[in-house]
């Protein structure tokens, strides 16, 4: 399905990224496995995860090389793309999966918590996409798969930095899809549900929390990879600008913001008083509640 293609998968030393890299390789892609090997909060580095993922791919008969450059800096992101071109002569797919977490309730969130998460998720996705865009344009072909989250699409507590980054990625993906469609370049987003170290810190102090974690553990990282492989293939050449979610064996197409209700006023238009008296009550029936992801996805993983 992916024979002859070259893919970069960031954050591919463990978890979701490793599952993606291994499946792409099993379907014929040559893969650059990028992972700095940092802790969950982005600190430290370790070449081991990327090297072990490459060893596993090669042991299964695939082709892969390891890369430990950071996506959060423009120059190092460019080196990741350069390595793909140097190692395999081309580049067809970029999977922007790398991420970190620094959860804090908003009034306690410090600037470094905000900047580091935005830096890896949003800036990293931009730097990687920007580094690959010129090559894709010349070849008049290419595929981006970015990772968003229901933390941004729906909501979650204590993740203002993560949610903002993930919603920024949605806008980035749509802009790339629009700007680069004439070059046959596609860009889509996936919101993954999977048990990984990114959510492994969920508390298990109560029976309810323990039951929730057991359900989450059924959503293995490998469940995300098939959609990525499909989107990376030529069979999905018509799919761009979309937002998907994967939850165990479920694949969902997510909505995108569109007007849901409107009001108008003749004459001189609206005054603040008229907005309060007329517009807000008229629109209130369509207001969204302050949901979090668990309020929307209320059924057990399938």
Tell me whether residue 251 is exposed, middle or buried, using C-beta atoms within 10 angstroms of its C-beta: 0 to 12, 13 to 18, 19 or more.
middle
Cβ contacts of 53 within 8 Å, gap of 6 or more: 12, 13, 14, 18, 21, 22, 33, 35, 64, 66
Average pLDDT over residues 4-14: 97
Q: SS3 for 243?
A: strand
Evaluate the CA torsion angle 127, 125, 169, 39 in order and state its sign: negative
pLDDT in tens, 183-206: 999 999 999 998 765 555 555 677
pLDDT at 261 over 90: yes
* Contact in structure between 9 and 190 (CB atoms under 8 Å): no
pLDDT at residue 158 in the model: 95
Alpha-helical runs (H) found in 89-206: 111-118, 124-139, 150-153, 160-180
pLDDT over 70 percentage in the chain: 96
**Residue 255 CA from chain centroid, whole number:** 16
Determine which one of 144, 147, 162, 244 is catalytic: 162
The rounded mean pLDDT for the chain is: 94
**Percentage of the chain exceeding pLDDT 90:** 85
Q: pTM, whole model, 2 decimals?
A: 0.93
Tens-digit pLDDT profile for residues 54-73:
999 999 999 999 999 999 99
Q: What is the mean pLDDT of residues 15-26?
A: 97
**pLDDT (mean) for 273-300:** 94
**What pLDDT, on a 0 to 100 scale, did the predictor assign at position 215?**
72
Query: Alpha-carbon torsion 151, 294, 20, 137, what sign?
Result: negative
Q: Which pLDDT does position 194 carry in this prediction?
A: 83
Find residue 10's DSSP bridge partners. 34
CB 70 within 8 A of CB 104: no
- Chain segment 83-98, per-residue pLDDT in tens: 999 999 999 999 999 9
Give the pLDDT band (50/70/90) at residue 299. confident
Is pLDDT larger for residue 195 or for residue 31? 31
Alpha carbons 152 and 100: distance in angstroms, whole number = 15
Range 6-253: architecture per CATH: 3-Layer(aba) Sandwich (3.40)
Mean of pLDDT values over 24-33: 98
In order, the DSSP letters of 208-233 are HHHHHHHHHHTS-GGGTHHHHHHHHS
pLDDT score for 201: 55
Active site residue 288: no
Q: At what angle do helices 160-180 and 111-118 cross, to 10 degrees?
A: 30
243-247 and 250-253 strand pairing: antiparallel
């Amino acid at each position: 399905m992916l024979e002859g293609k070259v893919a970069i998968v960031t954050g591919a030393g463990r978890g979701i990224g490793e599952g993606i890299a291994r499946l792409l390789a099993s379907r014929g892609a040559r893969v650059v496995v990028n992972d700095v090997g940092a802790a969950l909060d982005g600190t430290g580095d370790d070449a081991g995860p990327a090297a072990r993922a490459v060893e596993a791919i090669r042991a299964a008969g695939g082709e892969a090389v390891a890369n430990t450059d950071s996506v959060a800096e423009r120059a190092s992101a460019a080196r990741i793309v350069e390595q793909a071109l140097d190692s395999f002569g081309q580049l067809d797919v970029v999977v922007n999966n790398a991420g970190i977490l620094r959860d804090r309730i908003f009034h306690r969130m410090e600037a470094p918590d905000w900047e580091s998460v935005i830096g890896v998720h949003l800036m990293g996705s931009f730097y990687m996409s920007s580094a690959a865009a010129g090559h894709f344009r010349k070849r008049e072909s290419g595929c981006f798969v970015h990772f968003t989250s229901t933390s941004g699409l729906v909501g979650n507590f204590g993740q203002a930095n993560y949610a903002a980054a993930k919603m920024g990625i949605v806008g980035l993906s749509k802009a790339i899809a629009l700007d680069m469609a004439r070059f046959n370049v596609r860009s889509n987003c996936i919101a993954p549900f999977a048990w990984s170290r990114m959510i492994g810190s969920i508390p298990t102090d109560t029976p309810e929390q323990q039951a929730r974690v057991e359900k989450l553990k059924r959503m293995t990282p490998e469940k995300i990879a098939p959609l990525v492989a499909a989107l990376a293939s030529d069979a999905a050449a018509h799919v761009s600008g979309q937002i998907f979610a994967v939850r165990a064996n479920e694949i969902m197409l997510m909505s995108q913001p569109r007007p849901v209700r409107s009001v108008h006023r003749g004459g001189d238009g609206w005054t603040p008083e008229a907005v309060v008296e007329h517009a807000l009550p008229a629109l209130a029936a369509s207001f969204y509640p302050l949901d979090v992801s668990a309020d929307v996805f209320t059924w057990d993983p399938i």
